[in-house]
Amino acid sequence: MTTTTQRSYEVRTFGCQMNVHDSERLSGLLEGAGYVPVEDGLADVVVFNTCAVRENADNKLYGNLGQLWEHKEVNPGLQIAVGGCLAQKDRDTIVKKAPWVDVVFGTHNIGSLPALLERARHNNEAQVEILESLETFPSDLPTKRDSTYAAWVSISVGCNNTCTFCIVPSLRGKEKDRRPGEILAEIKALVAEGVIEITLLGQNVNTYGVEFGDKGAFAKLLRACGEIEGLERVRFTSPHPAAFTDDVIDAMAETPNVMPTLHMPLQSGSDRILKEMRRSYRSDKYLGILDRVRAAIPDATITTDLIVGFPGETEEDFLETMRVVEEARFGATYTFQYSKRPGTPAATLPDQLPKAVVQERYERLLELVNRISLEENQALIGKTVEVLVSNGGRKDDATHRMSGRGRDNRLVHFEVPADSLAPRPGDLVTATITEAGPYHLIADAGYSMRRTIAGDAWDRAEAASCAVPAPGAAATTGAKTGVSLGLPSLGKPHSH
């Protein structure tokens, strides 16, 4: 018979980095309560961390829940919990539509999950608990991170903006800022465990400090990160152009461990559409920020999010987006076709565009952004790149290539010469760029490697999971790879 302490769990995550990070906390909480990660087969507790931002999110969730219903029929001990943005939004509807769900919890009370599971089991009835606002800052909760060398650190949750396409403000509430001392203490604790890269996470990092009355708080936080010994890379996501101030640019330029990269959502190049989206900056202001960032940080790589086909977008509006994209020279662009999100103001706007129009514009834009990314990447051939080695890319035996991220967050595949010491995930490799594609670089020359505290932490984690590396492991090109990738990366950020 399974005892409480032996119950296994699985967290299935949908959506943005916020959810990925919340899922790390859910895992930490469940393990703190005695659950163990499922090894194979179906877990005793399946938790869905849902997203309301993506199209058809509810259909996907109910499809998944439907599949589990059959398992619940044969195994009544199976518990199903649904949390995240869709749970916050749909709350009671979930147990009405899927009465076999045991627990529904919201974005503000993830810390209650173990207690709610226990209560559902004890009372033999579904528990729905949704709070309208945050009681404990989620970073106070235990976290089980996916990566040994990179970590997310929340600095704020919620958003005070009201972009008309976005469901976040109504689901995540007003911005709540975490105090700098707490954030820095968390980062130092992470570095002590071997983490060398952190990504500061907030819906709108530039307004960090608004809640405790310090407008310069984000720049100060970046500079304070620069003082942390052993911390090699600091990133952040996402800033909002309307609130972007020069003190942040100065802090980025003057703090060596803040990486030369900026992901700043543009969404549209048309000022008219930006107004309709209720985004208070205009394209000139946006381009002006890029000029100042590039003047202060000449090697800065800028990436963005764009929405094509917002209601009422004309061909002229779209051409404005093409113009701004051409001028901005983005290193990477995450391009989305507008689709209605129920509950957002834009969903009820007239002039929703026909799919064929949106598709055609999307394809034109994609061609442009891919051409620019390729040109930007090709301009790097011959330059030296420092790569933080990931644990996601398995070494290809034929090419001896491994993968990681450059300081600018570009994906780099590099060759490990046959007679060289191979890196462990978390080690830093330096190599020369020899080829470029729109989404990656190849650096097959000039290999050298620096072992880091993150690589040492990888060895310890491997030893703890019984896959003990041979003494002085990674002595040649056989470094072990293939553990799930939890690193902050150019993977699609939440769209702001």
Q: Is 200 in the site for ligand SF4 (CB under 6 A)?
A: no
Please spell the DSSP secondary structure of 236-288, one letter per residue: EE---GGG--HHHHHHHHH-TTB-SEEE---B-S-HHHHHHTT----HHHHHH
Q: Tokens for 91, please give them.
A: 């709350």
> How far apart, in whole angstroms, are the C-alpha atoms of residue 305 and residue 372?
15
In the complex with ligand SF4, the residue whose CB is nearer, 220 or 278, is 278
In the complex with ligand SF4, the residue whose CB is nearer, 46 or 200, is 200
In the complex with ligand SF4, the residue whose CB is nearer, 7 or 240, is 240
Using left for φ > 0, alpha for ψ between -120 and 50, and beta otherwise, residue 91 falls in left
Candidates 159, 219, 353, 490: give the one binding ligand SF4 (CB under 6 A). Answer: 159
> How far apart, in whole angstroms, are the C-alpha atoms of residue 31 and residue 489?
26
Q: Which of 488, 416, 479 is nearest to 449 (CA)?
A: 416
- Region near ligand SF4 per CB under 6 A, out of 91-99, 160-168, 244-252, 380-388: 160-168
User: Which residue in this structure is represented by tokens 């130092």?
Assistant: 188
Strand order across the 8-13 sheet: 36-37, 8-13, 45-50, 79-84, 103-105, 127-129
206 secondary structure, DSSP code: G
Q: Is 120 in the site for ligand SF4 (CB under 6 A)?
A: no
Q: Is 343 in the site for ligand SF4 (CB under 6 A)?
A: no
**Least spacing, CB of residue 22 vs ligand SF4, in Å:** 15
Instruction: Annotate each residue in 238-277 with x if it binds ligand SF4 (CB under 6 A) or - if it does not, as one string.
Output: --x-------------------------------------
Candidates 47, 68, 166, 183: give the one binding ligand SF4 (CB under 6 A). Answer: 166
In the complex with ligand SF4, the residue whose CB is nearer, 65 or 302, is 302
**Least spacing, CB of residue 248 vs ligand SF4, in Å:** 16
- Region near ligand SF4 per CB under 6 A, out of 121-129, 162-170, 354-362, 367-375: 162-170
Q: Is 89 in the site for ligand SF4 (CB under 6 A)?
A: no
User: Which residue in this structure is represented by tokens 């310890």?
Assistant: 460
Cα–Cα distance list, 171 to 85, 87, 158, 488 (Å): 6, 9, 8, 23
**Least spacing, CB of residue 107 vs ligand SF4, in Å:** 13
**Least spacing, CB of residue 6 vs ligand SF4, in Å:** 40
Residues 118, 119, 124, 129, CA torsion sign: negative
**Least spacing, CB of residue 373 vs ligand SF4, in Å:** 23
Q: Please tell me whether residue 340 adopts helix, strand or coil conformation.
A: coil
List for the chain the helix, strand, coil content (%; round to 5).
35, 20, 45
Q: Which of 249, 254, 241, 173 is nearest to 218 (CA)?
A: 249
In the complex with ligand SF4, the residue whose CB is nearer, 204 or 452, is 204
In the complex with ligand SF4, the residue whose CB is nearer, 29 or 57, is 57
Please, where are the H alpha helices in 270-341? 271-276, 283-296, 315-328
Q: Is 231 in the site for ligand SF4 (CB under 6 A)?
A: no
In the complex with ligand SF4, the residue whose CB is nearer, 13 or 204, is 204
User: Which residue in this structure is represented by tokens 């009422």?
Assistant: 312
Q: Is 169 in the site for ligand SF4 (CB under 6 A)?
A: yes
**Least spacing, CB of residue 393 vs ligand SF4, in Å:** 30
**Least spacing, CB of residue 102 vs ligand SF4, in Å:** 30
Candidates 168, 243, 454, 487: give the one binding ligand SF4 (CB under 6 A). Answer: 168
Q: Is 163 in the site for ligand SF4 (CB under 6 A)?
A: yes
- Region near ligand SF4 per CB under 6 A, out of 57-65, 161-169, 187-195, 288-296: 161-169
Instruction: Annotate each residue in 466-485 with x if it binds ligand SF4 (CB under 6 A) or - if it does not, as one string.
Output: --------------------
> How far apart, in whole angstroms, are the C-alpha atoms of residue 417 and residue 413?
13
Q: Is 29 in the site for ligand SF4 (CB under 6 A)?
A: no
In the complex with ligand SF4, the residue whose CB is nearer, 203 or 377, is 203
Q: Torsions phi, psi of 213, nearest 5?
A: 75, 30
Please spell the DSSP secondary structure of 67-101, one letter per residue: HHHHHHHH-TT-EEEEEEHHHHHHTHHHHHH-TT-
Give the total of residues touching ligand SF4 (CB under 6 A).
11
In the complex with ligand SF4, the residue whose CB is nearer, 161 or 283, is 161
Cα–Cα distance list, 336 to 91, 123, 159, 210, 306 (Å): 28, 45, 21, 30, 6
Q: Is 161 in the site for ligand SF4 (CB under 6 A)?
A: yes
Under the rule (CB under 6 A), what is the footprint of ligand SF4?
159, 161-163, 166, 168-169, 203-204, 240, 496
